[in-house]
Structure 1
């Protein structure tokens, strides 16, 4: 009966085997006879290949009615049947992709772009979520912080009094495995022979290497026992000693103190707070260098130190935090109780993404951007899936007959759904491979914009598991609607030629296009508002002149000890017009103080103001803008007991005539001699805090230079460096331009703005790809109509309008939906800034017009191309 497939006179053997396995025995001979007869006629008439495929279709038509007539046996033919079906699905899918090249390109490239965006965002989120996770005790480490009530609100401080570490160890020792006091990161220069490098590191207590989980390359973790020791990061040790073994080598610290290298540790990963800790010096050395720290009259009143803890293995973080809540309150003087200090633990797991506090409550931080980009990634991928759905359903009429024939010969809906899902999964497979290429190409640019150093995790099995799972889900989502829609066609209507998709069939496509452009317009509006807010803050008056202002943080007191000589020499060379000293930088607050009193002050009000000590030439150097009064002067001996205050301080204190008013500070009376405009020292997005300046001799932390505008910046800096070498030999000359430092304050917002712009551009691109495909299909579908209209006198403009108006209406609907959504989200985002721009109507108008222009440009190519087609050819088209 069944013959060899190589013999043209016989049908394929495997098809007969399927028939034998499925059909009831008493019907098999009759069915095979009829099928073989048809095969012979088809073979003579159409050739063997066509007859072979018709035979396979005929066999499949008989399988369903008779499959249930006998109980299946677990023969290998089951897997053979599955293989045949999958093979057929694959062949059909490939043929459809090759036949419809433009359609296939738009689907594959659009999905690849969406998947690439999702992958980039996934890598970014992975990096953000992995901060500090290098430490195996990640969930048991915390920083000790405190809430205090100042100026009528609760402020959260990261700094602690010096005795806090010892009290936690002695009174709560069983709750902690490690308690470590640390300084803030400090710049120091290290010298070995004739080699000097300036790096950042910390003074820390001896348990620091254990708490930080340092991996030792050389030496041991207990290398901080000796005060005259130092531990170096691997990169620092290599920079100083090259390939030599640094252990027990002597380093000179700032040309004064000799310390011995006792350990070298692996560089702490970049996504950690400790990544810039290039060296660790024992805390005892800090006490030796600063004798005043051990002789403070009120050690609990000065908050300038960091305390890290690792809780005991059997303890709960929240429970321990509650136990130490009253530690500071129990040790401060009664008159300081009005500050209401409350100590708590801020877990390492929240350092990066939950770092912001308002009124003593953690309000989030970086986690907002994780959610933001997560949503953007989801919606951009959704846009790509919508393209697939739209183009697949738009071409439904082209495949309606195929579906009808398949159903007529016995295909059930489940098989059709499986076929269309297999096609979408094939497209997704190609798109996934292309997306990996796109990500690899885009990643360097993305890293530069995001400020990261991410790589594709090629060797990470979780990455591949998530990527493959993610691709399958994408394929199922993108293929779900076409599969369900196409498989629902009624074969009788399709094969009779009475099937029409109808006007309602286009409604889902229109809804999906509206969704696409709603997302795109929302992103455009959001991008404009973000950059407008940045520009608004940049244009805010800063209260001083940043132009040609240079700041230096001296690492020794050499310049301070010869300040007048240095100043006169630099002015005589013409390098600077003025210079001064201060206890704090121009672009940050280093010190705040309480204990102030003035006439009319509420006795129950606890206040805390930024205070900066400056030299007499400071105001002239930085360009203070006086509202009232005068600057400090060496001509007035009483200026050592005087304040220059800002407008915010006048307003907060309620001083109607501030000049001459007396302010009491730590039992000493200061006279207000000047009021200056508010200086933007901290965040340009927030209100300026009440600030006070006094003239004192303890202001040697920073030196500010006003470069001479008559000389080039390079020439002036060179002269300053020469003078610096003269008075501070062997000390590195490190300086920064104030305007560059100020611009860093916009870094995070600018980075977010650039990323949102990047994703918005991709969203628009993906939406336009889909629009281009739909316009192409519609132009093809209406070829005859266009030809008839041209014959009857329609112009190119008439035809362009005809083909474009539907898309214009969809974009208008999208704009009407996107505008209130964008306003709601961006209005809420702006509320976190005290100093913020308004959301103007023109932003929405410009975004809507831009989206409309982009959509029209996309559609116009196909519309004009169709309108210019020769009507004779159009009317001949079948």
Structure 2
């Protein structure tokens, strides 16, 4: 009997190849999306779980407020470690680390490596670092020694034993390789290729007793059974009583050090100065719901198409029942057909998964792969999806098809049995509501992204070449700047400690009184006199710095936001004192420019000039061939800094990195919009097939009575467009509220574009019209005699 069922099922599926292909394709896409999102969610949830003490490791944050400046960062003071170790026995080990870069000579070239981590000897006691060979602790204790990751060892010592070998830095320092460690898993919130001793860094030594400087990342492991919240309260109470510097105790100011569990860093922490790019837990919920929704939609379409086709199989059911088949046998037959279709869809879904995974990795910023280690998870997931999909998509059609009455099916009287199916109409409305909302989201997110990129920033970011680590020029810094400015394709060039798109530092300043603050923390930048003119930032009042002016070394320029913050009516000539005792006179007020992203209002900024080398040089290039212009600048660099690689980017590209999350979100919206429209279109196709089949005789009668093709098409099409129009009306307010809330994260944002709602509605209606037209025209062109002869 099973063989008979199987052969009958295969014949049915092969006989209706178009229907089978549509049904399996829709289901395969839904399952593939569900698999992709499930793999992504699994990858996100696995971050930092490979550490043996993952459930007992915490990071110390620094949440402070001074004057009008408040911050929360993952970097903290150096004395955090000694305080935890000396006064809190609940703490097992404390480790500190700092992230940096290193320039290494490889052959005749110098290579800049960005993943250099400096840590103390407790690093391997807190984190699970697998040693392949050598002694990691040597690199963590002794200066001029280094541990390499497997990748770095293979890069610099291919087919050699790296232990005992040396790497040469660009300053001539030889680093002895003491160990090779396994590459950090991709599911780690920090990465490194090189590991060295933290105690060799000069700034670390200078700040060992200072609580006012954000210097290192502090991590610690707790002894088993310790309550982290209770310890946090004790730690904070101890600091407030014994350790805090006096200026943090003044009224309105505070300095707190909350603990953050290692397991929450990747998904719940998006602070400035993170060790890597973190995710967002909210995205897990959103994408999981979307994945489940798309899978359910695919199952709904399967049901719609199966029950729609039941009209063409009604006589088959009647004949089977007349020949003695019971309802149970028919249910087994039809459920078997659904199960085979689901299995076929699963096979295609896995193929789609393999083909689309590289694109999805690019979209989500991942490196996921289908590996044997993940096979149990994938098989278990496939099993659950098979069970869920088979039950949802197979049971309902089987019950409906097997429930037809024998006499009615043989006479073609199915109207009373099938009913109007308000449920199917409601499902189509729901499908198109979600699709329309996703289309609106795609347009609004894209419009906001373009607004962020094209807004007036107060400076000109076009064609500004940015050289990183310019202090590598050393004594040739000034010579390089002069030679660059003399190049015919260069408009201007200036060096600074920060440029738009990079991190600006802050420290405590005391403004001349009367002011709104006695002292406060403000962002600042040291630059040479060409900084503002290179960026084309305008002077609102006063003047810019003069070239080679010693008097200006104790002068400063502030932006209008700072004037407003301090409450000064006439800022020119007033003084601002720095933390080192220097007293700067305000000689100019610059226009506000967005040196941070448009997520924030323009913050106060102090610009000071200094004769020393700066880490960045900004070069404004004139119109011309960029490749040739870059090569000419590179030639000068190679001449004056032969031991340092030429590292460059463009300010425009650096600034755009502020909006990577928005760009990625826009691509995700677009992808899910297309998929949702595809699946909704299939659902509408199924409903159209079903409703046209129900009204076949009505159409025949209308044509006999004189109705032309256009009137019949209009009659059938209007019913479907009505459903889609209802979906659009339902989607608009929901999309508006959700997107308005999303836009609140931006200090500068677009007004909600009305055209996005109109365009989304038009696209949904257009897709519906194209989907339904095929069935409507086909029914309208059908010979009325064919529709009526069964009577």
TM-score of the two chains, using structure 2 as the length reference: 0.92
Number of the residue aligned with 1:333: 245
Q: Any conservation in 2 of the 1:203–1:280 contact (CA below 8 Å)?
A: yes
Q: In the alignment, is residue 299 of structure 1 matched against residue 210 of structure 2?
A: yes
> Per-residue deviation at 1:189?
0.8
In 1: Cα distance, 2:740 partner to 2:90 partner: 45
Identify the residue that residue 392 of structure 1 maps to in structure 2. 306
State the distance in 1 between where 2:509 and 2:755 align.
49
Tell me, yes or no, if structure 1 residue 535 matches structure 2 residue 450: yes
- The whole-number CA distance in structure 1 between the counterparts of 2:244 and 2:613 is 28
Shift of 1:676: 2.1
The answer (yes or no) to whether the contact 1:570–1:719 under 8 Å persists in 2 is no
| Kept after mapping to 1: 8 A contact 2:314/2:412 | no
Q: Is the 8 A contact 2:509 2:576 kept in 1?
A: no
Distance in 1, Cα, partners of 2:225 & 2:634: 56
Counterpart of 1:11? Answer: none
Alpha-carbon offset, residue 92 of structure 1: 4.4
Instruction: Identify if the C-alpha distance between structure 1 residues 552 and 310 changes in structure 2 by more than 3 Å, giving closer, same or farther.
Output: farther
In structure 2, distance between residues paired with 1:737 and 1:356? 25
Contact 1:613 1:695 in 2 (8 A): yes
- SS of 1:274 mapped into structure 2: coil
**Structure of greater Rg:** 1
Tell me, which stretches of 5 or more residues in structure 1 are unaligned?
A: 1-83, 359-363
Note the C-alpha offset of 1:313: 3.3
Shift of 1:112: 0.6
Rounded Cα–Cα distance in structure 1 between residues aligned with 2:239 and 2:608: 29
Classify the secondary structure of the residue corresponding to 1:531.
Answer: helix
Q: Name the SS of the counterpart of 2:747 in structure 1.
A: coil
Structure 2 CA distance for partners of 1:850 and 1:869, relative to 1, 3 Å: same
Of 427, 430, 437, which aligns to 1:512? Answer: 427
Asked if the contact 1:686/1:834 (under 8 Å) is kept, the reply is yes
User: Does residue 850 of the first structure (1) align with residue 766 of the second (2)?
Assistant: no
Mapping of 1:551-566 within 5 angstroms? 551-554=466-469, 557-566=471-480
C-alpha distance in structure 1 between counterparts of 2:264 and 2:414, whole Å: 60
Displacement, 1:309? 1.9
What is the CA-CA distance between 1:698 and the residue it aligns to? 5.2
Structure 2 spans left out of the alignment, 5+ residues: 273-277
Q: Select the residue among 667, 692, 697 that pairs with 1:754.
A: 667
Alpha-carbon distance in structure 2 between the residues aligned to 1:780 and 1:490? 18
* Match for residue 688 of structure 1 among 602, 613, 620: 602
The question of 1:797 aligning with 2:713 is answered no
User: Counterpart in 2 of 1:7?
Assistant: none
In 1: Cα distance, 2:218 partner to 2:504 partner:
18
Rounded Cα–Cα distance in structure 2 between residues aligned with 1:721 and 1:876? 85
C-alpha contact (below 8 Å) 2:477/2:613 kept by paired residues = no
Q: Using the alignment, how far apart are the partners of 1:113 and 1:582 within structure 2?
A: 52
Tell me whether 407-416 or 500-509 shows the greater mean CA deviation: 407-416
Alpha-carbon distance in 2 for matches of 1:385, 1:852: 23
Indicate the SS of the match to 1:303. coil
**One of 471, 494, 499 as aligned partner of 2:386:** 471
Aligned residue in 1 for 2:439: 524
How far residue 109 of structure 1 moved from its aligned partner, in angstroms, is: 1.0
Which residues of 2 match residues 18-97 of structure 1 at below 5 A? 84=1, 86-87=2-3, 89-97=5-13
Task: Give, in angstroms, the shift of residue 841 of structure 1.
Answer: 2.5
Q: Which whole-Å deviations, capped at 9, do the CAs of 1:517-543 have from their partners, x for residues lacking one?
A: 111111111111111121121122222
Q: Name the SS of the counterpart of 2:587 in structure 1.
A: strand
The correspondence for 1:226, drawn from 142, 154, 178, is 142
Alignment-derived partner of residue 591 in structure 1: 505
- Please give the residue correspondences for 1:104-503 in structure 2 after superposition, counting only pairs within 5 Å: 104-150=20-66, 152=68, 154-172=70-88, 174-184=89-99, 186-191=100-105, 194-200=108-114, 201-224=116-139, 225-275=141-191, 277-287=192-202, 290=203, 293-295=204-206, 299-326=210-237, 328-329=239-240, 330-338=242-250, 339-356=253-270, 366-400=280-314, 417-457=331-371, 459=373, 460-489=375-404, 500-501=415-416
Cα 1:305–1:326, aligned 2, differ >3 Å: closer, same or farther? Answer: farther
Q: What is the rounded CA distance, in whole Å, between the counterparts of 1:391 and 1:151 in structure 2? A: 66
Q: Measure, in 2, the Cα distance between the counterparts of 1:774 and 1:420.
A: 20
Evaluate the alpha carbon distance shift between residue 403 and residue 807 of structure 1 in structure 2; reply closer, same or farther with a 3 A threshold. same
- The Cα of 1:331 is off from its aligned counterpart by 1.8
Query: C-alpha distance in 2, partners of 1:144/1:311?
Result: 13
Q: CA deviation at 1:724?
A: 1.7
Identify if the C-alpha distance between structure 1 residues 789 and 181 changes in structure 2 by more than 3 Å, giving closer, same or farther: same
The offset of 1:113, in angstroms, is: 0.9
606 and 857 in structure 1: CA distance in 2 versus 1, 3 angstrom threshold = farther
- Counterparts of 2:505 and 2:239, CA distance in 1: 20
**Greater CA drift, 446-455 or 594-603:** 594-603
Contact kept? 1:584, 1:612, Cα under 8 Å? yes
- Residues 854 and 726 of structure 1: CA distance in aligned 2, closer, same or farther (over 3 Å): same
Contact 2:435 2:677 in 1 (8 A): yes
2:528 maps to which residue? 615
SS of residue paired to 1:645: strand
Q: Is the 8 A contact 1:587 1:741 kept in 2?
A: yes
Q: Equivalents in 2 of 1:619, 1:835: separation in Å? A: 23
> 2: CA distance between counterparts of 1:165 and 1:873?
87
CA pair 237-521 structure 1, distance change in 2 beyond 3 A: same
Q: Give the SS at the match of 2:215.
A: strand
Q: Could you say what secondary structure the match of 2:618 adopts?
A: strand
Count residues with an aligned counterpart.
779
- The correspondence for 2:553, drawn from 637, 640, 646, is 640
State the distance in 2 between where 1:249 and 1:629 align: 58
Residues 1:356 and 1:194: Cα distance change in structure 2 (over 3 Å): closer
Query: For 1:164-203, what per-residue CA distance to the aligned partner results, in whole angstroms no more than 9, with x for missing partners?
Result: 222222223x33333222113x221112563532102122
Deviations 1:735-754, CA, capped at 9 Å, x for gaps: 11111111222222111211
* CA–CA separation in structure 2 for the residues paired with 1:763 and 1:233: 43
Distance across 2 between alignment mates of 1:226 and 1:294? 14
- What SS does the aligned partner of 1:352 have? helix
Highest RCO, 1 vs 2 (Cα 8 Å, sep ≥ 6): 2
Equivalent position to 1:840, from 740, 753, 770: 753
Once the two structures are TM-superposed, the CA of residue 874 in structure 1 deviates from its matched residue by 5.8
Q: Assess, with a 3 A threshold, how the Cα gap between structure 1 residues 499 and 710 changes in structure 2: closer, same or farther.
A: closer
Matched, 1:861 2:774: yes
Q: CA separation in 1, counterparts of 2:346 and 2:416?
A: 32
Q: In 2 relative to 1, CA 635–264 (structure 1 residues): closer, same or farther, beyond 3 Å? A: closer
Please give the secondary structure, in 2, of the residue aligned with 1:196. Answer: strand
Secondary structure of 1:593's match?
strand
Deviation at 1:328, TM superposition (A): 4.6
